[in-house]
Amino acid sequence: MDNRTFGDRLAERIADLGPLCVGVDPSREMLASWERDDDVYGLEFFALAMLEAAMGHAAALKPQVAYFERFGSAGYAVLERVISEGRDAGLMVIADAKRGDIGSTNDGYAEAWFAPRSPLRADALTVSPYLGLSAMSSLVDSAVATGSGLFVVVASSNEEGRVVQSARTATDEKVEDYLLRQIATLNEKADHLGAVGAVVGATRDRPRFDLSMLHGPYLVPGVGAQGASPDDVGKLFERCPKGSVLVNVSRAISGAGPESRALRDAVRRWRDDLSAVLP
Amino acid sequence: MDNRTFGDRLAERIADLGPLCVGVDPSREMLASWERDDDVYGLEFFALAMLEAAMGHAAALKPQVAYFERFGSAGYAVLERVISEGRDAGLMVIADAKRGDIGSTNDGYAEAWFAPRSPLRADALTVSPYLGLSAMSSLVDSAVATGSGLFVVVASSNEEGRVVQSARTATDEKVEDYLLRQIATLNEKADHLGAVGAVVGATRDRPRFDLSMLHGPYLVPGVGAQGASPDDVGKLFERCPKGSVLVNVSRAISGAGPESRALRDAVRRWRDDLSAVLP
C-alpha cells in the first residue's frame, strides 16, 4: 500500500499534470445550458463528461456534493460512480461537502468518506470548522491512516464569509489565522506535506499567517466565474512549496458546453494558464 | 395548503405533544449496543424503531445524516424512508446535516431538502454558518416558500466550538450574538415565529443577545449523554415564547435498547421531564 500522506501524493500528481482541479457542479442552470434534463440522467451525463475531460490533463476532480444530493439516493449513486471512476482514471477526487459536526458525529463522516469499504471513499473531503477544528480529530486521524486528505474551509471565496472568518479570537488573532496555525500544527509530524489542507479563496487578501508555512496543500476556489485570475493566485501563493497549490475551476470550464473537444480544450487552457504562474 | 411558517407549525406541535425531539443517531457503537450488524439493515431497524417510539409522543424526529451517509446511496435510501414515514406519522422531521456553502451551492441544498418533489424533502434542515449566514438567502427564501425551517448552528453543545463562536466581529460582538441578531432580522416579517431557528446548546452560557427576541424556534442539543439537565434548559430559555424551544435527546433514549416498550417509556419520561421546565 501507498503509505505517503495525501499532501505528498497530491504534490506528485501536480508535478505530473499541473495544478488544475476540475470542479463538477451539475446545478439546474448548468444542466439547462447543456440542454440536458434536470434529472439523474442529465446529472450523470454532465459529471462523466467533466471526468472524461479532466482525465490525463488535470490533477484532481471536485464534485460538489450539494448538486448530487438534489436527487437523493439516486443522485448519491451517481456520485459513487463519479468518485470511483475518477479515482480509477488517476484523478485525485475531492468530495466538496463542507462537513463538520461535534466529535462523535465526525466519526460517521470519517467512515463515509475515508473508510476503504465505503462506496463514497474519496481522496479528500472539504470540511467547515464552525463547530471547531479540534472537534475533527477522528477525521484527521482517519485521513492520516488511509492516506486521505482534509481541506478545511479557512477563507472562502465569497464576501459573505468574512464576518465570521475575520472575527477575532480570545488571543486576538483572526479566525482564519488561528485555523491556519492549527492546521500547520496538525501537519507537524509529516516529513513534507501533511494530510490537512486549507481552502483559501483566490479572491481574498493575504492572511497574516505566512501561507508558505502550512505544511499542507491548498485548495483554491474563486478563479474564473467568481472573478479571480491566475495572476491573483500566483501572487497569493508565490512562496508556497512546489505542488502544494491546487486551483479549482468549475463553471469557466463547463461553460464551454457539452462537446468533448471544447471541454478538453478548456481544461488544457486553464491547466497551462495556472501552471505558468504557480510554483 | 398549510401556509403557516415552520415556527408556528412547530409551536403547535409542541403545544400538542411537548418539546421533545427524538434524535436518531445510528452510529456503529449504537448499533453494536443494540446487537445489530453495522449495515443498512441494522441502520433501517434502528431508525424505524426510534421513529415508532417517537410517534404520538414527541413533536419531532432528528435523523443525524452523517450516520446514514456511512452507507452511501443505500444509506440515503433508508434516510428517505425515515424522513417520509416520520412526516406521515405526524412528526416534524429535522435533517441534521449542518449544510452551508456559497450562495450558488446553497441553491442545490435548498432543492435537496425543501423542494416538494425531492426524495429528501424534510420539515427543517440544520445549517452551519462558517461561509456566512447572508450567503444563505436561497435557503431562507426556499424555507419560507415551502413552510420549512432552518436551524442555524449558533452555539454548539461542544467545548471545541467556542473559539470560533465566541470570536469578536468587526462590530465587537461575539459571533454567536451577531448570528442571533441576524436571525431575528430574518424573522421580522413573520407574525409570530418565523422560519429561521437557532441551535443553542444546553451546555452553553446565556448569550448577550436576549434569547426571547429571536422570533424563531430553538433546537437544543446537549441534554442527556452530553451532560445538561432539563433544569439547565429551563433556566437558559425561561423567558422564550411558548412552543419555541425544542430539545433533542438521542443517546439517552436509544441507550434504553431495542425493546419497543423500553424505548417508548424513555421517550415519555424525557417528554414529561422537559415539559415540566419549559414554557
Q: What is the mean pLDDT of residues B73-89?
A: 98
Residue B69 sits in a domain whose CATH number is 3.20.20.70
Burial label for B11, CB within 10 Å (0-12, 13-18, 19+), is: buried
Give the pairing type, strands B218-220 and A149-155: unpaired
Count of domains for chain A: 1
pLDDT digit string, tens, across residues B27-48 = 999 999 999 999 999 999 999 9
**B149 is a domain residue:** yes
Residue A205 has pLDDT above 70, yes or no: yes
Q: CA-CA distance, A167 to A155, in Å (whole number)?
A: 12
**A1 is a domain residue:** no
Beta-carbon separation of A161 and B101 below 8 A: no
- With a CB-CB cutoff of 8 Å, which residues 158-177 of chain B face chain A? 158-170, 175
- With a CB-CB cutoff of 8 Å, which residues 30-49 of chain B face chain A? none
Q: What is the mean pLDDT of residues B4-8?
A: 96
* Residue of A37, A43, A69 best to disrupt the B interface, most CBs of B under 10 A: A69
Beta-carbon separation of A70 and B118 below 8 A: yes
**B1 is a domain residue:** no
**In chain B, what residues touch A73 (CB-CB under 8 Å)?**
73-74, 76-77, 79-80, 119
Q: Partners of B94 in the beta sheet? A: B124
Average model confidence (pLDDT) across chain B:
96
- Helices then strands (H, E): number in chain A? 12, 8
User: Could you confirm whether A62 is annotated as catalytic?
Assistant: no
**Nearest residue, CB atoms, B135 vs list A66, A160, A175:** A160
Cβ-contact A168, A194 below 8 angstroms = no
Q: DSSP of B225-260, one letter per residue?
A: TTSB-HHHHHHHTTTSPTT-EEEEE-HHHHTT-S-H
Q: CA-CA distance, A266 to A272, in Å (whole number)?
A: 10
Q: What is the mean pLDDT of residues A47-63?
A: 98
Give the pairing type, strands B124-127 and B218-220: unpaired
Q: What is the mean pLDDT of residues A21-50?
A: 98
* SS3 at position A23: strand
Q: What is the mean pLDDT of residues B186-200?
A: 95
Q: How many CB pairs under 8 A join A and B?
A: 207
* SS3 at position B25: coil
**In chain A, what residues touch B70 (CB-CB under 8 Å)?**
108, 111-112, 115, 118
pLDDT (0 to 100) of residue B226: 82
Cβ-contact A142, A148 below 8 angstroms = yes
Residue with cell 460538489: A64
**A211 is a domain residue:** yes
Nearest chain A residue (CA) to B106: A66
**A141 is a domain residue:** yes
Q: What's the CA angle centered on A272, arms A270 and A273, to 5 degrees?
A: 65
Residue at B177: amino acid letter: D
Residue A212 has pLDDT above 60, yes or no: yes
What whole-number percentage of chain A has pLDDT above 90? 95
**B11 is a domain residue:** yes
Is B218's Cβ below 8 Å from some Cβ in A? no
pLDDT (0 to 100) of residue A3: 81
Residue A1 has pLDDT above 60, yes or no: no
E-strand ranges in chain A read 20-24, 60-63, 92-99, 124-127, 149-155, 196-200, 218-220, 245-249
- 3-state secondary structure string across chain B: CCCCCHHHHHHHHHHHHCCEEEEECCCHHHHHHCCCCCCHHHHHHHHHHHHHHHCCCCCEEEEEHHHHHCCHHHHHHHHHHHHHHHHHCCCEEEEEEEECCCHHHHHHHHHHHHCCCCCCCCCEEEECHHHCHHHHHHHHHHHHHHCCEEEEEEECCCHHHHHHHCCECCCCCEHHHHHHHHHHHHCCCCCCCCCEEEEECCCCCCCCCCHHHCCCCEEECCECCCCECHHHHHHHCCCCCCCCEEEEECHHHHCCCCCHHHHHHHHHHHHHHHHCCCC
Q: CA-CA distance, B120 to A113, in Å (whole number)?
A: 20
Is A242's Cβ below 8 Å from some Cβ in B? no
Q: What is the mean pLDDT of residues B51-62?
A: 98
What whole-number percentage of chain B has pLDDT above 90? 95
**Residues of B acting as catalytic residues:** 98
Residue A201 has pLDDT above 60, yes or no: yes
Q: What is the mean pLDDT of residues A4-33?
A: 97
Q: Point out the catalytic residue in the list A98, A174, A235, A242.
A: A98
Q: What is the mean pLDDT of residues B75-93?
A: 98
Question: What nine digits make up the cell of A22?
Answer: 476540475
pLDDT band at residue A226 under the 50/70/90 scheme:
confident
Average model confidence (pLDDT) across chain A:
96
* SS3 at position B206: coil
* SS3 at position B20: strand
Neighbours of B174 (CB within 10 A): 19
- With a CB-CB cutoff of 8 Å, which residues 139-158 of chain A face chain B? 153, 156-158
Q: What is the mean pLDDT of residues B201-227?
A: 93
Q: Which residues touch A235 (CB under 8 Å, ≥6 apart)? A: none
pLDDT (0 to 100) of residue B29: 97
Burial A201-237 (b: 16+ CB within 10 A, else e): bbbbeebebebeebbbbbbbbbbbbbebebebbbebb
Question: What nine digits make up the cell of B275?
Answer: 415539559
**A66 is a domain residue:** yes
Q: If we measure between CA atoms, which residue out of A67, A72, A24 comes closest to residue B69?
A: A72
Residue B201 has pLDDT above 70, yes or no: yes
Q: What interface predicted TM-score (ipTM) does this complex get?
A: 0.97
Question: What nine digits make up the cell of B89?
Answer: 406519522
**Nearest residue, CB atoms, B167 vs list A103, A156, A175:** A175
Instruction: Report yes or no on whether pTM surpasses 0.90.
Output: yes
Q: CA-CA distance, B54 to A206, in Å (whole number)?
A: 51
Beta-carbon separation of B73 and A69 below 8 A: no
Q: What is the mean pLDDT of residues A76-88?
A: 98
**Nearest residue, CB atoms, B73 vs list A27, A77, A108:** A77
pLDDT (0 to 100) of residue B227: 87
Residue B2 has pLDDT above 80, yes or no: no
Is B132's Cβ below 8 Å from some Cβ in A? yes
pLDDT (0 to 100) of residue B1: 53
pLDDT band at residue A279 under the 50/70/90 scheme:
confident
- With a CB-CB cutoff of 8 Å, which residues 1-20 of chain A face chain B? none
**B42 is a domain residue:** yes
Beta-carbon separation of B119 and A71 below 8 A: yes
E-strand ranges in chain B read 20-24, 60-63, 92-99, 124-127, 149-155, 196-200, 218-220, 245-249
Is B72's Cβ below 8 Å from some Cβ in A? yes
pLDDT digit string, tens, across residues B230-277 = 999 999 999 999 999 999 999 999 999 999 999 999 999 999 999 999
Q: Which domain holds residue B214?
A: 6-275
Q: CA-CA distance, B249 to B243, in Å (whole number)?
A: 17
Nearest chain A residue (CA) to B135: A160
